[in-house]
């Protein structure tokens, strides 16, 4: 002061404050979904999962903000994007919150995936996520705009396909009598996710067998479907 006295006693949170500066954004990654395509039930079960962290830098970390994960889930029909709000799909840009270093976001139910939320039920979905840490303003306020925030993770896409594939047989007439049979042919359609396998069953009795196994008729493993050779929308079976 003017008289020459100097303060040498300090009171915590009054005349003495300690603070730590965290300028580094957290990290985030999506771990599920990891497959190219799911049924509506499987997509609802696996959900959207990921990891996040606010790593120590020079021994300092504000840690993750509670419910500080923003998750985007959307699909596109024509020129319009539909965003998951946590309850329904909307044309308004929306995110849903998640929390923790190993997080799971609220996602559509199997019925909501099957309904599609705009356009056909089978769709390609996209998801991204970002994380906020718990760093605050000087006055102690915490908000989604005050903490350090990561960029959105790289986009993950996956198909939700609830439509069973369809196969047909071509080149023979139902109920006909043949004196020889060397090959069977047909077509298939597995849109949207694509076909995985096609099997053909050859039997003398659909209820009990025996079924053809590629070399002989057998009662083992009935019903028995033999793998076919796939082409561009067509299949062929020649082990007769």
Is pTM beyond 0.75? Reply is yes
Q: Are 187 and 195 in contact (CB under 8 A)?
A: no
Going residue by residue through the chain, which has 240 residues, state the pLDDT in tens, using 9 for 90 and above.
898 888 888 887 777 676 666 667 788 999 999 999 999 999 999 999 999 988 767 666 666 777 888 999 999 988 999 999 999 999 999 999 999 999 999 999 999 998 866 667 789 999 999 988 877 776 667 655 667 788 899 999 999 998 899 999 998 899 999 888 899 999 999 888 889 999 999 999 999 999 999 999 999 999 999 999 999 999 999 998
Beta carbons within 8 Å of 13's beta carbon, 6+ residues apart: none
């Amino acid at each position: 002061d003017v008289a020459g006295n100097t303060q040498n006693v300090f009171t915590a949170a009054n005349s003495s404050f300690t603070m730590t500066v965290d300028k580094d954004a957290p990290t985030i990654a999506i771990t599920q979904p990891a497959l190219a395509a799911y049924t509506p039930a499987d997509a609802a079960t696996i959900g959207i999962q990921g990891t996040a962290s606010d790593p120590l830098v020079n021994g300092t970390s504000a840690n993750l903000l509670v419910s500080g994960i923003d998750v985007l889930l959307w699909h596109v029909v024509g020129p319009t994007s539909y965003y998951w709000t946590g309850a329904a799909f909307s044309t308004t840009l929306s995110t849903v919150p998640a929390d923790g270093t190993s997080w799971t976001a609220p996602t559509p139910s199997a019925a909501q995936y099957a309904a599609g939320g705009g356009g056909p039920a089978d769709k390609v979905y996209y998801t991204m996520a970002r994380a906020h840490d718990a760093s605050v303003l000087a006055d102690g306020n915490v908000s989604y705009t005050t903490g350090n925030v990561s960029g959105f993770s790289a986009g993950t896409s996956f198909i939700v396909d609830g439509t069973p594939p369809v196969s047909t047989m071509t080149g023979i007439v139902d109920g006909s009598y043949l004196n020889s049979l060397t090959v069977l042919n047909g077509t298939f359609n597995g849109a949207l996710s694509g076909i995985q396998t096609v099997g053909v069953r050859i039997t003398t009795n659909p209820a009990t067998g025996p079924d053809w196994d590629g070399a002989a008729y057998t009662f083992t493993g009935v019903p028995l479907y033999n793998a076919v050779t796939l082409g561009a929308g067509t299949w062929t079976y020649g082990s007769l």
